[in-house]
Amino acid sequence: TSANLADLESQLKTASEKNQIQLIEQIAATGEAGLIILKQFLEERQKGPVNFIDGKIYQVLLKSDSPEMADFLRTAYPNGLVSLQSLRGIDYSEVQELLAKQDYQAADRVSMQKLCELAGAQAMERKWLYFTEIDKFPIEDLQTLDRLWQVYSEGKFGLSVQREIWLGVGKNWEKLWPKIGWKSGNTWTRYPGEFTWNLTAPRGHLPLSNQLRGVRVIEKLLTHPAWG
């Protein structure tokens, strides 16, 4: 009922981020009236920095398949929600589009491609990174990718999230792997079928980095000056 919807709307304004995520889903489930409330809430938030609450609303409006909402998103955010800073002229819009529609598997693949692009022609050809290439990555580019992953994952995914977990386990890789769902007992999680390509994944599960050639690449990524 509309009384219920008004109630949810007022709760949305003061709730914790965790509860806001739930409320956004509940409000969207009420139909067109709910979508309009979410659209207005998103518009009112435009002053502050973009965070995962904005990302969540963007995702539910996009998923609603309402032409009106699709139109609003296109007009209000012609370049997407997250501003795509790159010091090397790399275009991250495909990553943004894939994450906005929660295609985490394709977004993971394209994110790795973009890091190869950032590293240069040889890495693009090779299709994987040398750890020595990572020192030269601009802070801005890694922060853009991290912001994209966080904004469209309720804050769950991203290199800086992985870094925080890694620091929390005393930089112990063997403790990190099971915590982020990359290893179970002695068994590595197999790519791609065994990974969890949605938000039921453990915190820090994505983006992936292949450990076939050792930990030096991920170590360089997690200790980059981008993370302060």
Residues that bind ligand UYC (CB under 6 A): 128, 182, 188-189, 191, 208-212
DSSP character string of 196-225: --STTSPTT--S----TT-SHHHHHHHTSG
- CB nearer to ligand UYC: pick between 96 and 209: 209
Least separation, in Å, of the C-beta of 118 and ligand UYC? 16
Is the separation of the CB atoms in 151 and 54 below 8 Å? yes
- CB nearer to ligand UYC: pick between 54 and 108: 108
Least separation, in Å, of the C-beta of 189 and ligand UYC? 5
- CB nearer to ligand UYC: pick between 95 and 208: 208
Give CA separation, 165 vs 1, 106, 169, 212, in Å.
42, 24, 6, 21
Secondary structure class of 32 (helix, strand, coil): helix
Least separation, in Å, of the C-beta of 148 and ligand UYC? 17
Give CA separation, 115 vs 47, 95, 108, 192, 214, in Å.
30, 11, 11, 19, 18
Nearest residue to ligand UYC on Cβ basis? 211
- CB nearer to ligand UYC: pick between 123 and 139: 123
Least separation, in Å, of the C-beta of 177 and ligand UYC? 6
Pair of tokens at residue 56: 């969540």
- CB nearer to ligand UYC: pick between 27 and 221: 221
- CB nearer to ligand UYC: pick between 152 and 182: 182
Least separation, in Å, of the C-beta of 101 and ligand UYC? 20
Pair of tokens at residue 155: 């804050």
Pair of tokens at residue 222: 């997690």
Least separation, in Å, of the C-beta of 195 and ligand UYC? 7
Question: Distance between CA 43 and CA 76 in Å, rounded?
Answer: 8
